[in-house]
Structure formats: C-alpha cells, structure tokens
Amino acid sequence: MVLSLVSLCAKEVVRDHSSSHSWLKWMPKDLYRALLEAAFSTCRPLAVGELVQRWPELTLRVGGRRKPGQTAPNRLCIQSMLLAVVRGLTDHRCSLELLDLCGVQGDEGGMGDPMGGWSLTVALCTMVLKASVRTRRPQRTRREQRKQRDQERKRISALERERDLKRERGQKKRDGELNSNESSNVGERTESSGSVSEEDLSKGVRRRMEMERKRGRTVLGSSERETEEKEMDRDVVVHVRADLFVNGRSWERVHSALRTSGPLKLQCRYLRVEEIAVPSIRTLLDLLPRRGLLGVDIRYSSLGVAGLAELLPLLSTFPALKSLRLHYCNLDFRRVHPSQSEALAELSQGLARLQELRHLSLTALRLPGQLRVLLSSLPQPLEILELPYLSLSPADFAYLSCSHHTSTLQQLDLSENRLDENTLPSIRRLLSQASGSLQHLSLSGCGLTDGLLGLLLPSLGGCRALKSLALALNPLSMAGLMDLVKMAVRMPSLRQLLYPNPLEDYQPGLPDLPSSAQLLDWPLDETSDINLTSNKLNRVLIDSGRSDIFLTCDLLNYDKDMVE
C-alpha cells in the first residue's frame, strides 16, 4: 500500500508528543483525521487523546471494515480515546456529538494487542457511567453552546419567514386594490349564506377532531416511546454508537450504562448476547433506542420455544432490524409435545412482524420438517440464510428449493445437514434458482461422496456469481477432489475453495462412509507428504491459468469474508 504525502507527514508529526502543545493550536481542522489515523497506526495513545479531546468535527468514526492485512486499533489507543471523550465534554474546543465505534473491536490476543468486543463493551459502559458522575455540573458549557447554536438558527429562520410574509402581504394588498369590485361582490354572496356555512364548518371541524383523536389513540404506544427517548436525549452531549457484546459477567454493567441519563448515551448497531436468560434479554432490548439496531445475535441461551416467541414481538419494535442469529438456543422440535403446533404458530406470527429482516441464522435448533412454517411467514425474501446442524428433512429441502427466498439468496450455509439421493434433486433445483445471486455456499459435513458430488458438479458450475465454496469434512477421494478443482477453474467468479482432506490422507481404519465427526477426529497419515495433495490441486490451477483461486483445507482459519 502506497502512503500519501499527508499520511507520511502526519506520522512524523505525531511521533514526538512533547511538541504537541506547539502545533495542535495551529493545526487546520482538515488535517485532524489524517493525524488521528497516523496516531492509531503507529500506536501513539497520547497523541490520540490530545486529538480527540479537541476534535473539531461533529462526528468521529473509528473502525469499520478493515482492509486485508490491516489490524484493529491498539487497546491503549482505544482507552486513551475514551478518556479523551470524557475530558472533551468540558473542553470548549471539542465539537464532538457522535462517536461511531462500530466494528472497531478485534480478536482478543490478536496481532497488535487489539481490544475485543467483550472488553470494549465494558470499557464503553464504564466511560458512560464515569461521565454521568464527573461531568454533571461542567457539562453545561457544551450544552449551552449547542443551545445557543439552535437559538441562532431559529432566529435566522424566523427573520426569513417574517420577510417572506411581508412580501406576500404587499403582493396581496396590490392585488386587492385592482380587484376591489369583484371582492365586494364575493363578500356579499358569502354574507347571504354565512349561517349555513358556519354550521357546516363547525360540523367539519368536530368531525376532523374526532378522527384525529382516534388516530392518536392508535399510535399512542409508539409515539410515547419516541417522545420519551427525545426527552432523555435532551441532556445528551455525545451519542456513542457501537456493537455491544453482553454475557452474564458484563450484563449488570451494560444494564446500568443504558439506564443512566447523562452527557453520554450508548447506541447499539449489533447486539450479541451469550448465556443470558430471557428476562435479562428483554430488559436489554427495552433499554436500547429503537432506531439504529440492525442485528441481534443470541448464543448459548436456553430460550426454548416459549422464550423465542416472547422475544419476537419485542424485536419487531426495532424498525431497522435486518439480522437475527440464534445459535444453540435449545429449540428442539424432534420431541413431540401437545402444544407444539401452537408454539410453531406463535413463532411464525412473530417472524412475520420482522418487516426488514434479510439475514436469518439458525444453528443447531433441531427443526426437522418445520422450515416451511418458519420461512414462509417472512414478509421479505432473505439474502443470507444459515441453517447448519438443523437436521433438515427431504421436505425441508424441497420447500427451500421453491421458496420465495431462493432467487435472492447471496449466502447459503447448509453445513452438517446430510445429503443423499432423495435430497439431491432439491439441492440441484435450489442451485439452479439461485445461480444468478448466490455468492457464498457452504456444504461442509453433508456426507458428499464422489458419486453424489459428480451429480452435483453441473449445478455448482452453473452458479455464475459464486465467490466462495466450502466442502470440508466430506468423504471424498483424491479423484473426487481433482474433479472438483477442474470444475472450479471453469467458474469465473470463484475466488476461494475450502476442500476436504482426501480419504487417502487418513490413517488406516477409517469406515467406508465416515461421518464429519469421524473425519474431524481421525488422525492424518504422518508417513505421507502432507503437501502432496495441495501441490497436485494447485498444479491444476496453474495449468488452467487460474492463480486467482485460493485453495485451502484449513477449516479453522477459513473465512469467506476474505473474498473482496
């Protein structure tokens, strides 16, 4: 990556913090962004704090989608930035009103010592609580400055309206003098029928008042919440928008920060909760601002069917919600119980209320034969559908191949749902319907043998938009892998292929049709060359001129999002 002259100079400027007092007061506002990026990239927390405390713009965004090879911001720099935000509340040079930290979190223990999502959430909540205690009195300075700006804006608008009104009055006066005779005649006709018109007018006014009153009662619930949020935002100086990660250890801290009223207010883009009971999840959702929440990710929580049915109506109150992910939430429809049909009906009705949902992920929920009931109620077609470990039945695959979601799917994950001769026609029909839109497909652990894969290859090759394909943990031989790679080089959009280790690479004793769990646990043959398979497959790429395809058998480090 070639650095610009501004970036190179910015790195030199922030390198020496002892001279910051001499250049900060003369620095143009347009260069603050370049200086802050240089301070983050070179890990200069003191420079980060100095810049953020004097931030000259209304909005500061840190994070977002990182480029390949780019690391997350350093933990010390983030902590310094958060402390500077609190100091900036009483600094008249700071104009910050929105701090956007969405996507700034990294992997705990990764390169560069980034701050993970769980640590960042706790740090943000601590910052909000600290600001509410320390800046209750001094924060009036920033609030009064904002109030003065609003008053000045209103005063200018009032002057412009008054000027326009005077102009209109003058024009009407001139028109009235020219048409005085006609106006008097109209006045006489109006006077002769004045009593009837007044009575009709009064009835019309009463009718409109009644209609407005009824309309007001129907939208009272939503308007009350919006009015309440506006009242709470009156004292807010800086809105802090981030992705929140909440578990049992951090729930109390997050709960306190969301309830606190003060100069800083938390806003959530994506909410991820783990090992939290339904009442606690409800409490968090009740405290979050209604606008701005794009996704909810619930993991390892014993929701049960009743708990999920209880949460879905609450999720429907977030108008921008596009993503819902449920991982290992203890939903099991394999056990028949008397109220199963009623529970499914409640889930279907709850999903039908999610008007903007585009991403649905259901992992290990054990819903065989129930896919039609859940997905058919969604009002909009999905773009991302993840159904791993769902024990899908042939009826589920048949519905999915002809549902209203198929033609719009961009990502599809059917991992660990066993495929056979009965379900293969449905999969082929599904791939044919989604061939123009599907970009990422995962069929890992689906029991694909050489024979099944041979029947599926023509349909896979027809997916002209496919960028990544995952087929790990399938019992394929070396001959099957060669056929797979030969098909992959004919797919113009494909950039990444996750292939399984061939059966020849395992130690003797593996069953004839091993499961994905057996393939995962069975040791590889250490006497053979582990690079032999990779070299053969890459030779096919080189001979075909497709060096742009990345081949890997590393399931743990595979990431489809690496494909641009």
pLDDT digits (tens, 9 = 90+) for 188-209: 444 444 444 445 445 454 555 5
Nearest alpha-carbon partner for 233 in 189, 270, 266, 208: 266
Name which residue leads in pLDDT, 209 or 299.
Answer: 299
121 CB-near residues (< 8 Å, 6+ apart): 242, 244, 245, 246, 250, 254
Could you tell me the pLDDT band of residue 226, with boundaries at 50, 70 and 90?
low
Look at the block and give the residue holding tokens 């106006």.
183
Residue 135: count of CB within 10 angstroms of its CB: 21
SS (H, E, C) 524-560: ECCCCCCCHHHHHHHHHHHHHCCCCCEEECCCCCCCH
Cα–Cα separations (whole angstroms), residue 302 to 285, 308, 326, 367: 17, 9, 11, 16
Q: How far apart are CA 263 and CA 253, in angstroms?
A: 17
pLDDT of the residue at 134? 67
| CATH tag, 381-563 | 3.80.10.10
Reported for 189-192, long-range contacts at CB under 8 A and 24+ positions apart, including other chains, are none
Q: What does the alpha-carbon distance between residue 401 and residue 396 come to, in Å, rounded to a whole number?
A: 9
Quick one: what percent of the chain has pLDDT higher than 90?
A: 57
Structure tokens at 31: 């260069």
Written as one string, the DSSP assignment of 293-343 is --EEEEES---HHHHHHHHHHHHTT-TT--EEEEES-----SS--TTHHHH
Closest alpha carbon to 31 in 6, 66, 50, 8 = 6
- Among 106-120, 142-156, 171-185, 244-258, which range has the highest average pLDDT? 244-258
Question: Percentage of residues in the chain with pLDDT exceeding 70?
Answer: 80
What's the angle, vertex CA 234, arms to CA 230 and CA 240, rounded to 5? 85
Long-range contacts of 144-149 (CB under 8 A, 24+ apart): 145/92, 146/97, 146/237
In the predicted model, is pLDDT for residue 102 greater than 60?
Answer: yes
Q: What pTM was computed for the model? A: 0.80
| Least confident segment among 153-162, 361-370, 419-428, 548-557 | 153-162
Domain ranges of the chain: 381-563
Residues in the chain, overall count: 564
| Alpha-carbon span 37 to 40, nearest angstrom | 5
563: region left, alpha or beta (phi > 0 left; psi from -120 to 50 alpha): beta
Q: Give the model's pLDDT for residue 343.
A: 75
Cβ–Cβ contacts within 10 Å for residue 437, how many?
18
